Amino acid sequence: MSKVVAMLEACADGFSIKPKEHLQWVFYNGKTSRLPKGEHGKADPEIQKGHIKRMIRHLEIDLECAEKHLEILR
């Protein structure tokens, strides 16, 4: 999740994250996307590639910028 946040900081200026019980709600560009928190008890959970790609498409984040910051998308 820390790598996803770093990508958002670089590629989605003005984003915000609101943690919920089982999800992280990501707000950007007037839209909302939800990412699962991952395995219970992990400090920095792995987020599945499909969830990240869906969030990038939905929030209209520049894919080239996201690929530069997230190895999983390359």
CATH of the domain at 52: 3.30.160
pLDDT of residue 44: 79
Are residues 50 and 38 in contact, defined by beta-carbon separation less than 8 angstroms? Answer: no
The dihedral through the CA atoms of 35, 41, 43, 45 has a sign that is negative
DSSP string, 38-53: -STT-SS----HHHHH
Q: How many domains does the chain have?
A: 1
Range of the domain at 9: 2-73
Mind listing the pLDDT tens digit for each residue in 35-65? 988 776 677 778 889 999 999 999 999 999 9
Show the DSSP H helices in the chain as ranges: 2-11, 49-59, 63-69
- Name the DSSP letter for residue 74: -
pLDDT of residue 46: 83
